[in-house]
A = this chain, B = another copy of it.
């Protein structure tokens, strides 16, 4: 038995998120069906974490076990020749049998993309959200700085999500203007883990700060009190992409 680790990129537009489910197609199922078609036995693919319906990935990490002796580079090619073109294996390697993509993940980076303008250019529409109100970028930077660190992010999770602890560490939170198009703002968040909808709620909060509905200090208040209503709305899924997952020693 071998354990294979793959880095996957996907356009989440057509999928009901990562997880296999009834009545809707998850990315996990597409990968498992592909492996079953290739190797003739059922496969179980485990990811670093779920992504929601419509969320994209540049570097999701997943693993599965394989009896076959195919070289990882060949496996990548074989999978890509069968996968739909909105899911691609970008990298494949053999890892130890004790590797677990979720439990071993050290940090993850997400990006939330916003197009600032009055009309969404069609070539961007699948991957960003439109923000027509003028944004105060200095205030957004103030709010971003307040998010960084080890905090109770209870106010930044969708209500009713079951978790042991709502304490997470955000190592970095920054805003970058896309060097290819100054209309595009990207919020990057790197942390040891993220609560359900946490990045989308942080993005929604930053936009409220940007157009002046919230003061930057409200972020601190939300963190301190854990009150969901002090944070902003959950920003739409299609602006979000999982960029990368880091593991110890890699």
A residues whose Cβ falls under 8 Å from a Cβ of B: 9-11, 56, 58, 76, 80, 85-90, 119-123, 125, 127, 178-180, 241
Copies of the chain in the assembly: 2
State which of B9, B85, B88, B120 has its C-beta within 8 Å of the C-beta of A88.
B120
Q: Which residue of B lies closest to A179 (CB)?
A: B179
12 further A-B contacts with Cβ under 8 Å, apart from A90-B121, A179-B179, A180-B180, are A9-B123, A10-B122, A11-B125, A85-B120, A86-B125, A87-B122, A88-B119, A88-B121, A90-B119, A123-B127, A178-B180, A179-B180
State which of B11, B56, B119, B123 has its C-beta within 8 Å of the C-beta of A80.
B119
Give the CA-CA distance A121 to B10 in the complex, in Å: 8
Report chain B residues within 8 Å CB of A58. Answer: 121, 123
Report chain B residues within 8 Å CB of A241. Answer: 123
Q: Which residue of B lies closest to A186 (CB)?
A: B180
